[in-house]
Chain A
Amino acid sequence: MSDSAARARGLQGPLWRAIAVYRIVALVYVAILVVRNVQEYERPMLAWPVLAVTAGWTVLTTYAYADPARRRPVLLGADLLITMGVMAASVWVVGRVALEHGKPTLAVAWHVAPVIAWAVAGGRRWGVLAALAMGATDLVVRAHYDQASFTGTVLMLLAAYAVGTLVRLSETSQIRLQRAIELEAATRERERLARDIHDGVLQVLALVKRRGAGLDGEAGELARLAGEQEAALRALVTGPTASAVDDNAEVDLMTLLGPYASATVSIAAPAAAVRLPAKVADEIAAAVAAALDNVVRHCEPGTKAYVLVEDEPWEVTVSVRDEGGGIDAERLAAAAEQGRLGVAQSIRGRIADLKGTVRITSAPGQGTEVELAVPRASIG
C-alpha cells in the first residue's frame, strides 16, 4: 500500500467508531430481548454465558478495531466466525420450536456489525461476501423462511454493498486530492528553482549582449542574438501561467500580453493581475497584437513600441505607442475615408464589440498611438 493510500485509510477512523457504537447499541438490544424472552427458551441457563460472550466480543472488537494496524483478515475472520457462532448457539439455547415461532436469535441486529466491518475493510466485494455468509447462517438458524426473514438479509446485503462502495469512493477521492496537493507543491518548488536558474541565464545573455554590442561582424551578430533571446526568456519567465477554464472564467490579461514583450516591445502594467473574462481578454490581446503587427509592417525594422496597461475600477485601458515616423492627421482621415485603415478597422471592430473606444493619434515624427479603453461595466 502506498503512502497516500495509507493516509486515506486513516480517514476510515470515524467509520470504525460508528461500527463500534452500532455493536454496543445492538448488544443492549440483544440483552433486553434475552431478559424478556428467557422464560420461553429451551435452555434458559445457557443464555447468560452466550450473552457474556457477546458482550466480551463487543468490548474486544471495540478496542481491536480502534487500531488500524489490527484491522487484518485474521481479526475480521474471527469477528465473522464468532458472530456466526453466537447466532448458531441460538439453535440450542432458544430452541427450534421458539425460533420457528419467530423468536429472535441471540445475535439479532448485532450480527450486522461484522458484515459492515468487512465492507469497510475490504470494499463492496468483501462486504457482499460477508453479508451472504451471515444471511445464510441466519436463515438456516431460524429455519423460518418467510418474507420478513429474506427482507432482513437483503437489507444487510444492500447495506454492505453501499458502505463498501462509499468507502472505496472516499478513498479514491482522498488519494486524488493528496496527489493534487503533492503535485502543486512540486510545481511551486520547480518554479522557484526555475526562477533562480533563469536569472543566471538571463545575466549571461545580457552580459554577452552588452560586451559584444560595440563589436563588428560575427561577434556583434552574436551579441544581437543573445539580446533577442534574453528578451524572449525574460518574457517567458515573468509571465504568469494560468489559463482560463471557459469563456466566462476570469484570466489575467497580462498572461496574454506578456509574450509580446521583446527587445523592441516594452510592456508596462500594474504589479497585480488585470483580471478580465477570458473572452474580453482574448479580444483585447488580439487588438494589441494587431497594433504591434502594424508597427512591424509599417515602421522601420527595430522601431520601438510601448504597451501600457492601466487597470481602473471602471475601465481597462491599453495603449500601444510606437516611435515610428507617424502620419499627419489629414492623411489619417483620408486613409480612413478610403477604407485603407485595414488594421485600425479590425482593432475598432473588436473593441466596439466590447462597447469600448479606440483613439488613434499620430503626428509626423512623433509616432502613432493607439489607445483602447474597455469599460468594466459592459464586461459585467
Chain B
Amino acid sequence: MTTQEKQIRVMVVDDHPMWREGVCRDLAAAGYDVAAATGEGRQAVRIAAAARPDVVILDLQLPDVSGVEVIQGLLEAVPGIRVLMLSASGEQQSVLDAVKAGASGYLLKSAGLSEFLEAVARTAAGDTVFTPGLAGLVLGEFRRLAVEPPAADGATPKLTERETEVLRLVAKGLSYRQIAERLVLSHRTVQNHVQNTLGKLQLHNRVELTRYAIEQGLE
C-alpha cells in the first residue's frame, strides 16, 4: 500500500488489550491509519460516529453488547462502513447472526498475519471475506429458509445455481482464483457471486426486521 493514496482509516474493537494493541501495531505497520481502538461495543458506536473509519475490525464477543447490536449501531452511525468480524471461538450462530446484521467479512482469530492483512485489504476494497466455515453457514441458512414456510409476501431469498456452486466451492476451501479456474469465470465474477449471496441474506434480514417492527406497531 502506498502512502500517496488516501490512507484507509481503521478502527479496532476488541476487549482483549494485548490483542487490540497487537492488531493496531500490525495495521499501522501495513500502512493503515488506525483511527481509534476500544474494548467496548457502545463506546465503539459513539467513537465511530466521530472518527468515521472506513473499516472496523470487530471482535464478536464483547463484554457489554452483542456483536449484532454493535454492527447495527455502526451501520446506522456511519452508513457504508465495512465491518470485518474476528472471533476466537467461531461460535456458529453468532457468526451467522452478525453476517445477517451487515458484517461484510469474517475471520477466525487463529488466522495468520498475512491472511489477516489480506482480509482487511479486501474488506477495505469492498469485497466480502468468507471463510469456508462461513460459506457453510450461509449455505445452510439458505437451505433453512427454503424449507421454512414462506413469508406472507412469499419473498424467500433463493440462491441461483451458480451462486450455490460458488458458495459450495468456497466452503470446500478453494480460493477465488481456484474457483475462477474451475468454473471458467473471471476472478471478479466469482467475487460478485459471493457478495450477492451475502447481499440477499442481509436484505432478507432487513425486510424481516421491518416486518417484525410493523407487526409489533413500532413504526
Chain A residues close to B by CB (< 8 Å): 195, 198-200, 202-204, 206-207, 209-211, 213-214, 227, 230-231, 234, 237-238, 263, 266-272, 304-306, 308-313, 319, 321, 323, 369
Contact = CB atoms under 8 A, between A and B. Distances in A.
Contact of A270 (B108, B116, B143): B143
A11 B88 CA distance: 48
A267 B137 contact: no
A238 B92 contact: yes
Contacts of B135: 268
B22 interface: yes
Interface string B96-140: 100000000000111011001000000000000001111111011
A252 to B, nearest CB: 12
Contacts of A308: 132, 136, 168, 171-172
Given A206-B109, A211-B22, 10 more contacts: A199-B89, A206-B88, A207-B16, A207-B19, A207-B22, A263-B110, A308-B136, A308-B171, A310-B140, A311-B143
A173 B171 CA distance: 49
B110 A231 contact: yes
Given A199-B61, A268-B171, A269-B140, A306 B132 contact: yes
B69 interface: no
A234 B110 contact: yes
A203 B110 contact: no
19 contacts: A200-B16, A209-B110, A210-B116, A213-B113, A230-B110, A238-B92, A269-B137, A270-B136, A270-B140, A271-B141, A306-B171, A306-B172, A308-B132, A308-B168, A308-B172, A310-B140, A319-B172, A321-B173, A321-B174
Nearest to B181: A366
Contacts of B184: none
Given A202-B88, A209-B110, A270 B147 contact: no
A203 B88 contact: yes
A152 B34 CA distance: 93
Given A203-B109, A206-B109, A268 B88 contact: no
B28 to A, nearest CB: 15
- Give the residue among B61, B89, B90 with the most A Cβ atoms within 10 A: B89
Nearest to B114: A213
B93 interface: yes
A268 B89 contact: no
A270 B141 contact: yes
Given A206-B110, A266-B173, A313 B147 contact: yes
Contacts of A266: 131-133, 173
Interface of B is mostly: helix
A159 B115 CA distance: 78
A369 B172 contact: yes
10 closest A-B pairs by CB: A270-B140, A268-B136, A306-B173, A202-B88, A206-B109, A268-B171, A308-B171, A271-B92, A203-B16, A321-B172
B1 interface: no
Nearest to A305: B173
Contact of A268 (B22, B113, B137): B137
Contacts of A199: 61, 88-89
Contact of B140 (A204, A267, A304, A311): A311
A272 B173 contact: no
Interface in B61-99: 61, 88-93, 96
A214 B116 CA distance: 14
A203 B93 contact: no
Given A203-B16, A266-B173, A271 B93 contact: yes
Contacts of B151: none
Interface in B44-62: 61
Nearest to B91: A238
B6 interface: no
Contacts of B108: 234
A234 B89 contact: yes
B113 A210 contact: yes
Contacts of B174: 321
B18 interface: yes
A207 B14 CA distance: 13
B202 to A, nearest CB: 16
Contacts of B113: 210, 213-214
A199 B90 CA distance: 10
Given A213-B113, A266-B133, A272 B140 contact: yes
Interface string B138-178: 01110110010000000000000000000010011110000
